[in-house]
Structure 1
Amino acid sequence: MADYIDLHGAEQSFGDTEAQREVRANDRQYVFHSWSAQGAINPLPIAKGEGVRFWDYDGTEYLDFSSQLVNLNLGHQHPGLITAIQEQAGRLATIQPALANDVRGELAKRIVERSFDGARSVFFTNGGAEAIEYAVRMARHHTGRQKVLARYRSYHGSTSTAITLTGEPRRWANGTLDAGVVHFTGPYAYRSAFYAETPEQESERALAHLRQTIELEGPGTIAAIILESVTGTNGILIPPPGYLAGVRALCDEFGIVMICDEVMAGFGRTGEWFAYQAHGVNPDLVTFAKGVNSGYVPLGGVVISEAIHATFENKAFPGGLTYSGHPLACAAGVATFDIFEEEQILERVRDLGERVVRPRLEAMAAKHSSVGEVRGTGLFWAIELVKDQATREPLIPFNASGEAAAPFNAVVAACKSAGLWPFAAGNRLQVAPPLIISEEDLIAGLDIIDAALDVADGYVAA
């Protein structure tokens, strides 16, 4: 039996050095990679993916604990998604967005029905960054205002407004591409900027800071507040009690649009369709991508409230995309809803998160001197690494690179050498496997992380 199928449809076996050499050569000669100095990288060629695993051309197997870029919620090569795409390609591969299409409308209907009270429609994009761009554009036209408030420790994408909204170091080199963006500090209890001693204090003080920011910027100038419902790459920061409700109240008080960025946290990652649903709030706009169809075909979008939809009832919305609501992408999205129901994805994510992940990570925190805090929900967790538990000094400095990042890189290398592909960011190992993962594989991956933390312990201050 063949190990994988190559570019030409031929069956191949692992260990074909010539095939791997060709993939590497074409990549290095012709592919320009994101977020990278092109001469400093050597991307690993991948031959095959299946379920929660993928393999390189030598046959090295990796348990995918990052769901690629936290998008592969239903895993590699899910037969339900593959079949949906094949069947849609066979009957109507593409159609322009100005025409009505059955699968596009069906997916929009399902998303609206499972989102927030007062949701009205969906504008489809090609991915998450575009969803952010269009959500902000909608908010500005709806309110007639220009400013948008966004948090530090956030990532919203790399297009112009999205990268300006982003509150982490990837923004710096891009300058200020959208002059209407203002940043503020969100809650982060473990490293509280507000000197809070309890989650409730953190929420109260973070909201007081946000209110002050609004007042100093001028409420009448602010179109929207955007925030990741659960902060993703920048730390898996779960909102403390009352925080999202408090943001909603401030938006209502000052006539500001509340945008929840669910690009990473949405579609089951936290055990809810959307992460904000665990906090009892109704946003005005919701951005999504990634898990809507596990990235099998690029797709994102904005869920739009009745009030904002009505703004464009009798005047044209100034924006559009050639591939908005692409049928192949939407077919995979509709199949995602079917699979979630058939395989009880939300129920199993909640169960595995609370019964398996939480107690195991808490045990690691008690065992390893390098673990400062563990936090998360569903299948979305962070292990924050420190040099000193008492002072909470991070294992590596903020935005470290080169030699300064060596301790953390050693931990990541230990995971990979044991067959685990981790989600690594800053000074954190973040647990985000495909939502279809079995309990056995989940435990196996956590075992590998547990062992890798021995490496991190070696860097802890004596």
Structure 2
Amino acid sequence: MTSTETSTSALTTEPAPTASALDARAYDLDRAHVFHSWSAQASLKPLVIAGGQGSRVWDHSGRTYLDFSSQLVNTNIGHQHPRVVEAIKKQAETLTTVAPTTANLARGEAAERITDIAPVGFNKVFFTNAGADAVENAIRMARIHTGRDKVLSTYRSYHGNTGAAIVATGDRRRIPNEYAHGHVHFFGPYLYRSDFWATTPEQEAERALHHLRRVIEAEGPGSIAAILLETIPGTAGIMIPPPGYLPGVRALADEFGIMLILDEVMAGFGRTGEWLALDAYDVVPDLITFAKGVNSGYVPAGGVIISDPVAATFDDQVFPGGLTYSGHPLAMASIVATIEAMNEEGIVDNAATIGTDHIAPGLATLAEKHSVIGEVRGTGVFWALELVADRETREPLPAAAMGRIKSELINRNLIPFIMENRIHVVPPCVVTPDEVAEAMSIYDDVLGSL
């Protein structure tokens, strides 16, 4: 071989894979090796996502989707926010990981930012890896603080997929996972499908509170450690609590010496147009769980915001819980950057304005036009369209029809969040009026095609 041939051979490389080849490889690898959650594996056909920015994502071939799911209702600050990405990079260059037993500046600053957002009297944060283990540890704290065991939660709820969290969950996913003990369920308010024969929000709240009182009395108040509620139930249907309900639950908890845990995992950090969903209600819990929106899931993180009386329980008593990655530096840096960016860029205010001025009227117009919409409910960038086969009987739209709706929305380049007979309209908090108008046009087109 001549020197010229050697030089030419050394410069020869394989051609770069095409965009379509990258999409195909991502899909094939997924189907060959990835085991997906909440799914029968054989029939899955996942979208390939290669990148994103703001309220949009795209595949390797450049097909772009408007993300009105916020993935799993967590990218509150949008995809690839530059300040958050840069904060993660800088922290990675400084210290990628450290034991939770140490003091770390990023962790301390993240805890300070979170407690600044919390109600007065909440000065400590226990960091977890996600929302489910936040709920687990809040339950643990409540049980130790009260010396009681039972936890009451609603049937229409989702609290995570770990031991106690999934049993605290009320929906059907609980049933094959009922291994934890000490959990009791009750019906919360849901006026559209009232379990209490109510006809007004006030009546629904009053009767739901009476029902909860009877459950407490029947279970034995002295055995109940906590009432666990999503401030606004999310996956269960974005059900805004009627006036007086949450303060009424607080009053019942106080009457019987029960802890109140509010789960803000999905509803918190801008999603409702408030920093925390509880800010819109006259209620202060004992423990607050969070995850998702605190850093838009850029690095897994969650936690429990602890009221001072509960925190004091562990001043001289060992807290029997911990996680290797509690307060992971990369996650903490992303939390600090997220909260700072949301503050300085008015992102929470944007969510409130978008909800009031664009999503609410847009969905109301759709409801006037399409009889398949039984009810519209929500706030901020946290909305649901409940779809029905018949408005008079309120019979839910069948699963097959919902499947067609999901497929047609994706075909029109919109990623939806579909749950049972509902379309959840949950874009990032940074969504623009033009993007909302684009989504409304797609929803209109698809619902019209039914």
2:207 aligned with 1:213: no
Q: Give the structure 2 partner of residue 228 of structure 1.
A: 230
| Contact 2:57–2:67 (8 Å) recurs in 1 | yes
Verify: 1:129 aligned to 2:132, yes or no.
yes
Deviation track 1:277-335 (CA, whole Å, cap 9, x = no partner) reads: 10021110000000000000000000001010000000110010000000100100000
Instruction: Name the structure 2 match of 1:163.
Output: 166
**8 Å Cα contact 2:354/2:432 also seen in 1:** no
Does the alignment pair 1:22 with 2:16?
no
1:262 is matched with 264
Report what 1:284 is aligned to: 286
Q: What TM-score, normalized to structure 1?
A: 0.93
Q: For residues 16 and 216 of structure 2, what CA distance do their matches in structure 1 show?
A: 60
| CA–CA distance in structure 2, aligned partners of residues 165 and 50 of structure 1 | 35
Instruction: Tell me the residue number matched to 1:31.
Output: 34
Counting matched residue pairs gives 437
Q: Distance in 1 between matches of 2:279 and 2:287?
A: 13
SS at 1:46's partner residue?
Answer: coil
User: 1:67 corresponds to which letter in structure 2?
Assistant: S
Aligned residue in 1 for 2:393: 391
Quote how far apart the aligned CAs of 1:217 are: 0.2
Kindly report structure 1 stretches of 4+ aligned residues shifted beyond 6 Å. 10-13
The answer for unaligned runs of 5 or more in structure 2 is 1-13
Report the counterpart of residue 410 of structure 1 in structure 2. 404
Structure 2 Cα separation of the partners of residues 345 and 157 of structure 1:
27
Judged with a 3 Å threshold, the aligned counterparts in structure 2 of structure 1 residues 11 and 426 are, in CA distance, closer, same or farther, namely: farther
Aligned counterpart in structure 2 of residue 446 of structure 1, from 411, 431, 440: 440
Q: Distance in 1 between matches of 2:117 and 2:212?
A: 29
Match of 1:53 in 2: 56
Q: Where does residue 6 of structure 2 map in the other structure?
A: none
Taking the TM superposition and a 5 Å limit, the aligned residue runs for 1:362-373 are 362-373=364-375
Give the corresponding residue for 2:11.
Answer: none
Distance 1:85 1:122 in 2: 21
| 2:382 alignment counterpart | 380
| Cα pair 1:116 1:283 within 8 Å, conserved | no
Structure 2 partner of 1:67: 70
Distance in 1 separating the partners of 2:413 and 2:436 = 13
- Measure the CA separation in 1 of the matches of 2:234 and 2:96: 33
Scaled by the length of structure 2, the TM-score of the pair is 0.95
- Specify the alignment match of 1:301 in structure 2: 303
CA contact (8 A) 1:408 1:427 kept: yes
Q: CA RMSD in A?
A: 1.4
Secondary structure at 2:50 match in 1: strand
Contact kept, 8 Å, 1:284 with 1:304, in 2: the verdict is yes
Q: Return the alpha-carbon distance in structure 1 between the equivalents of residues 301 and 237 of structure 2.
A: 25
Please name the residue that 1:94 is paired with: 97
Tell me the distance in 2 between the aligned counterparts of 1:53 and 1:12.
26
Note if 1:83 corresponds to 2:99: no
> Which ranges in structure 1 are unaligned for 5 or more consecutive residues?
1-9, 397-404
Match of residue 241 from structure 2: 239
Deviations 1:245-289 (A, max 9, x none): 000001100010000000000000001111011002111000000
Once residues 413 and 38 of structure 1 are traced to their aligned partners in structure 2, the CA distance between those partners, rounded to angstroms, is 18
Deviation (angstroms), 1:390: 1.1
Question: Contact 1:96/1:323 (CA < 8 Å) preserved in 2?
Answer: yes
Task: Determine if contact 1:84/1:332 at 8 Å carries over to the other structure.
Answer: yes
Larger Rg: 2
Structure 1 CA distance, aligned partners of 2:173 and 2:437? 33
Give the aligned residue type for 2:415.
Answer: W
CA distance 1:315–1:353, shift in 2 (3 Å): same
Report the Cα distance in structure 2 between the residues aligned to 1:409 and 1:36, rounded to whole angstroms. Answer: 14
